[in-house]
Each structure stands twice: as structure tokens, then as C-alpha cells.
Amino acid sequence: MRDNSRIIRPAGRPFNGEITVPGDKSISHRAVMFGAIAKGTTRIRNFLMGADCLSTIDCFRRLGVQIDVEAAPGQVTVHGRGLRGLKGQQEPAVSIVLDTGNSGTTTRLVSGILAGQDFPSLLSGDASLNTRPMKRIMEPLSQMGARIRSVNGNGCAPLAIEPGQLHGIHYTTKVASAQVKSAILLAGLYADSPTSVTEPALSRNHTELMLKGFGADVSSIINEDGTATASIRPCRELFAQDIVVPGDISSAAYFIAAALLVPGSSLLIKNVGINPTRAGFLSVCRDMGGDITLLNERQAGGEPSADLLVKHSSLHSVTIEGGLIPTLIDELPMAAVLAAFADGTTVIRDAAELKVKESDRIATVTANLRAMGCDVTPTDDGMIIRGGKSLHGAVLDSYLDHRIAMSFAVAGLAAGGETRIRNANCVDISFPGFYDYFN
């Protein structure tokens, strides 16, 4: 079997200079999805060619959409088929089978779209994806009139979706999840009356921003009690857009952390998306004492971006909780590693969602931090990290979770001795070429 381990050695020199990181995963997924169901040709620049986004392209190609991956890096052209132009199997009773790979975003958002089609479909992913909870979308979509069922009756994919007449609902979600919100809003495009979703705190709002650009009648408000409501009206058509995808702040997080941890570093990370619903990692790093300056702030398609100048800093502990959690949910493994190197005790709470990602990230972060000598206690909704002790290199596993592999590659830079990360290639899910950047 091919050795899929990576050895990480302590950084011998500072992280200096200028880099760009690949395009934002969430925005890349949405650009293809909305382009596919819009009228006209959507041109995407700086698309993320990560495995998850390629799963989205693959699904829509199977649904009859021509999608050209151009020779110029990151350029993708989507020849939209209109809101009601997706194609199922020729035999109307036979389901079209879509492979969503490792991608929760693909599975949940595409389910919202498929609920509104007049053909049956079956969505299934890899072993990890097929253990992730799907009741959270099945329940609201069913309330809207969708006929969606977990084939194995365990609330997970494979999901079978039959044609159904959709109507608008108001739905209150238990967790702040952009995937759940987006699945409902996308189904709402096909409903016969308006749909709205209230979530306990605002989750990433790329769907709302981009759908507006495509011509949908969508609005959102923050309520007085801190909950957030997004609403959408049924739609006759969406219209193609040109989308420029900003760099992914979730990918930038590894290099922000590396520059903060490695003495003497001064790193400029150019063109990073800083949408406030995604930028919690920046505020947490700054609260820890991290020296991060935003330069050249600008907007494209409603999405703000900036260049980030990050300098080595001595870090101290923080508490990460509440409404901040959805704004850095994917960066929490990296934040936990930073906390291990920071003075004092960091508490992460209100983050039970970590348990239902590509791995149980409370368990996998705890296991790897402990292997490196960190004193960490997992809790039901987060962890308590007693930082400030020097960590040592160790043999770690990614648990086939890209975020775990990358977070602990950074840990390996700042620890003493050699770190081996097993199953390291899973970084391709969101950051192809990640290790080349390190080298």
C-alpha cells in the first residue's frame, strides 16, 4: 500500500514572504450549484479544485449540466440549465445516483435542490459522509412536502428523494448550520409560498449573498434575541453571474497559525475572504495576542476580502463560545492547537457540532494533542486546553479528516522533534498542494 504518511519537522526558519491560498470551498460549491440552476453561463474564477468541490461538479454534470474546467487555473464555466432544467434518468421511475464523496456541503445543499425536481434521485457519499447526520435536513424538507428518506433508516445518507410538491414553511433550527439553512432556502426556490429559517446564531451567509446576486428574492435579519432569520420567495428563474472566489480563510488559518507560532515570522497572505460570518478565527487569534493586520480591504459580489499580515506573537489563553462558534467552526481544531502553545487555560464550549464533522473533532483533536504531551480534557461541547507546556513530536493520525491533518502539520512545526501524520493525503479535500506550501 502507498505510504500516505507525512513527516513534519520543527520549522528551521521563519515563515516570511507572501502567499495566496486556494479559493473558498463554501463559495466554490455554491457558485457551481447556483450556476447550474441559473439561466445562462456562469464564469467562476479562483474556483477551489479540492475533492469536495469536484464532487459538486460531478453531481451537476450527472444532472445534465455542462461544466467546463478551463485550462487557466481555477476557471470554471457552468452552462446553466435554468431552475427546472436539471435532468434525471431517461426512465422516469429510475433514480439518478449521485456520489457526494466526503462533502457534507454537497450532500445537504444538493438535497435541497433535488427536493424540488420532478425526477427521483439517490445521494450517497464515502464511509465518513454516510455516518453524518441528515435528519437535520430531512425534517425541514419533509415539512415542506419533500419526499426524502434515509435508505438505511439511520438518519444518514444514502438519501432517496422522490418528486414532491413543495410549500413554504417557517423553520427554526436547533443548531446554527449554513448547510441546513441553505438546503431549506434552496428548496424554497421551488416552493409555492415564501420560506424562512431562524437559526440560533448567524451561520455563514454565502448562500444568501450569492443567491441575491443570481436574482433571488432573499433577505436576512438578526433578531433582537441574537437569533438570525433568512427568508426567500419562490423564484421563476435565477440568472447567471460571474463569480470571483476569494481565498479560503479556513485554508489561510493554517498559515496564520504557523506564522504566529514560528519565531521571526512575518507572512503576508493575500486575498483572503473575511466575511464576518467566517472570520471568527481572526478575532480569536487577536484576542490571544496575535499580531494580524488587515490590508487592502475590498468587496466582490458582496463578499469582503483583504490581505493579512501576520507576525510571530506570544499567545495567551481565551474562551471561545456562543455566537462566535459558527464563525470559526472549521478552524476550531487549529485554534485548539494554538491554545496548546499559548499560556494559560483555553476553554472551547458550545461547539458540540465538532462531533459530527469528517471526524469527531473533539475526540480526534484531544487524542492528537495528548499524543504530543498536551494536557487537554474533552467535554460534551468542546475542550479545556491547559497550554504553555512545550509539545513533542509524535505519531498522529488524521482520522481521514483534512482539518485534523493540516492543524497537526502546523503543530508539528512548533513542537520539538519529528511528527508523523498518518493518512495525510486527505488534505486534498479542501487544500490540494497543502504540503508543498509548507515546503
Ligand X SMILES: O=C(O)C1=C[C@@H](OP(=O)(O)O)[C@@H](O)[C@H](O)C1
Using CB under 6 A, list all residues that contact ligand PEP.
52, 103-105, 330, 357-358, 403, 430
- In angstroms, the CA 429 to CA 405 distance is 11
Is position 361 annotated in a ligand binding site?
yes
| Catalytic residue status for 330 | yes
Is position 204 annotated in a ligand binding site?
no
Is position 84 annotated in a ligand binding site?
no
Is position 155 annotated in a ligand binding site?
no
Q: How many Å is the Cα radius of gyration of the chain?
A: 21
Is position 30 annotated in a ligand binding site?
yes
Contact status, residue 380 vs residue 341, Cβ threshold 8 Å: no
Report the residue number whose CB is nearest to ligand X: 26
Using rule CB under 6 A, residue 141 touches ligand X: no
Contact status, residue 285 vs residue 256, Cβ threshold 8 Å: yes
Using rule CB under 6 A, residue 407 touches ligand X: no
Of the pair 303, 353, the CB lying nearest ligand X is at 353
Using rule CB under 6 A, residue 204 touches ligand X: yes
Of the pair 124, 265, the CB lying nearest ligand PEP is at 124
Catalytic residue among 330, 397, 401, 428: 330
Instruction: Give which of ligand PEP, ligand X, none residue 205 binds (C-beta under 5 to 8 Å, depending on kind).
Output: none
Instruction: Give which of ligand PEP, ligand X, none residue 117 binds (C-beta under 5 to 8 Å, depending on kind).
Output: none
Helices and strands, number each (H, E), in the chain: 12, 24
Instruction: Give which of ligand X, ligand PEP, none residue 204 binds (C-beta under 5 to 8 Å, depending on kind).
Output: ligand X
**Cell numbers describing residue 329:** 467552526
Of the pair 164, 200, the CB lying nearest ligand X is at 200
**Cell numbers describing residue 436:** 508543498
Instruction: Give which of ligand X, ligand PEP, none residue 56 binds (C-beta under 5 to 8 Å, depending on kind).
Output: none
Burial class (CB in 10 A: 0-12, 13-18, 19+), 100: buried
Instruction: Give which of ligand X, ligand PEP, none residue 403 binds (C-beta under 5 to 8 Å, depending on kind).
Output: ligand PEP
Contact status, residue 144 vs residue 191, Cβ threshold 8 Å: yes
Of the pair 89, 150, the CB lying nearest ligand X is at 150
Please list, in sequence order, all residues whose beta carbon lies within 8 angstroms of the beta carbon of residue 349, skipping any fewer than 6 positions away: 319, 320, 321, 379, 381, 382
- In angstroms, the CA 427 to CA 398 distance is 9
Which of positions 351-390 make contact with ligand X (CB under 6 A)? 353
- Least distance (Å) between residue 99 CB and ligand X: 18
Is position 177 annotated in a ligand binding site?
yes
Using rule CB under 6 A, residue 105 touches ligand X: yes
Q: With contacts defined by CB under 6 A, name the span among 74-82, 85-93, 176-184, 213-221 that binds ligand X.
A: 176-184
Using rule CB under 6 A, residue 179 touches ligand X: yes
Contact status, residue 27 vs residue 245, Cβ threshold 8 Å: yes
Q: How far is CA 136 from CA 139, 143, 150, 318, 330, in A?
A: 6, 12, 12, 31, 19
- In angstroms, the CA 271 to CA 249 distance is 9
User: DSSP labels for 154-221?
Assistant: SSSSSEEEE-------EEE-SS--HHHHHHHHHHHHTSSS-EEEEESSPPP-HHHHHHHHTT--EEEE
Is position 179 annotated in a ligand binding site?
yes
Q: How far is CA 292 from CA 208, 257, 289, 296, 312, in A?
A: 28, 11, 9, 13, 9
Please give the angle made by the CA atoms of 121, 122 and 126, to the nearest 5 degrees.
Answer: 150
Using rule CB under 6 A, residue 245 touches ligand X: no
Instruction: Give which of ligand PEP, ligand X, none residue 178 binds (C-beta under 5 to 8 Å, depending on kind).
Output: ligand X
The annotated binding site is made up of 25-26, 30, 104, 132, 177, 179, 330, 357, 361, 403
The catalytic residues are 330
The annotated binding site for 3-phosphoshikimate is made up of 25-26, 30, 177, 179, 330, 357
User: Interface with ligand X by CB under 6 A: which residues?
Assistant: 26, 104-105, 177-179, 182, 203-204, 329-330, 353
The annotated binding site for phosphoenolpyruvate is made up of 25, 104, 132, 179, 361, 403
